[in-house]
Structure 1
């Protein structure tokens, strides 16, 4: 945020604080010009500190968003790893008797459906009524 006179605000926090401290140490009693200079220096420091705080808060919010995204991705990766371990366990720790039995039953059902299809393919609606 630029200064009211159009100049850029100071970006170095330590320079801002040194300027404010120097302005506060300057004797201003009875000297209106010095009083206004000190007030202007303190106001400029205040604006600079507010700008710096806004920058820090913006970066903090951005980092929070990125950390949230990383956490979500980490959780998603953990879920996928668990699913893959379960799938691997299902493939490796298989009951071979039940798998072979299921395979033979599925093969018999496929052969029966294929035979029925080939038998029905040669027939017409008129042959079904006999």
Structure 2
């Protein structure tokens, strides 16, 4: 069987192209540091990489949610700290107001300071987040949750909803409590109503034994209500602290999971440089041989023999 010059030429050219393609492919792997550059390099590993990338994207969303939840909880914690301080000061003033040696003017002065505490608490209760949304109105976050009516009394107009963040695959975390949970005690007393009644009583002159008895009764009732409100705020603060600690734990778990993803990707996709350089050298030799063979085939034409 005779082999024509053109057949030899085509075979030599195909070999040259194949060797050149393999040489360039290895060079691409070395430059990228990856064993799998195109899906055809290892379809199974490429499919695994797609799945892991999707899992990493989901985990990143959880991480972003944890940042958002931490910001909200930290802001709530700040409000709770201020609220606690206000209540502690109010309880101190309450004890002072019960002193029998005080006159009407003294009690009125205490009432004025309690009025400032009252307004400070109202401001805290209507705190807004960085986006201008009111924090403690539940899902009704576009208007102040605590409003003061024409009679001067404060009422809660938010709802009982609790906003949450999906901070991990199996954890929907409450990221901020509503105003009812914070500013009402266990027996459903409104903190503001307690202060309103107390301030009004201190502004009223004590002219008789009946007035004194009424004052002491109001002070006792207010003392109990403030104590319950304080305990309630402490309970919410403890819950917020626990959630912040949980976020720290979830951050560690999420970070370890990300490291595992990276390790799996590295094991399956990263290049073995020693083997790659060895293959690169061999392909380079093969390409040089194919180039020489191609040149030699070109010289076989009969016209070159004339």
TM-score (norm 2): 0.27
Larger radius of gyration: 1
Runs of 4 or more off by more than 2 Å in structure 1? none
Highest relative contact order (Cα 8 Å, sep 6+), 1 or 2?
Answer: 2
Shift of 1:9: 5.8
Q: Indicate whether 1:56 and 2:197 are aligned.
A: no
Partners of 1:63 and 1:54 in 2: CA distance: 14
Residue deviations 1:63-108 (CA, integer Å, cap 9, x gap)? 211221122012111111012202211221131839xxxxxxxxxx
* Structure that is richer in helix per residue: 1
Q: 2:216 aligns with which of 39, 45, 50?
A: 39
Equivalent residue, structure 1, for 2:54 = none
The equivalent residue for 1:69 is 246
TM-score by length of 1: 0.61
Unaligned runs of 5+ in 1: 1-7, 99-130
Unaligned runs of 5+ in 2: 1-185, 277-306
- SS state at 1:45 partner: helix
Number of residue-to-residue matches in the alignment:
90
Q: CA RMSD in A?
A: 2.2
Question: Counterpart of 1:117?
Answer: none
1: distance between equivalents of 2:204 and 2:257?
A: 66
Asked if the contact 1:26–1:38 (Cα under 8 Å) also holds between the matched residues in 2, the reply is: no
* 1:13 and 1:49 in contact (8 A); partners too: yes
Q: Normalized per residue, which structure has more strand?
A: 2
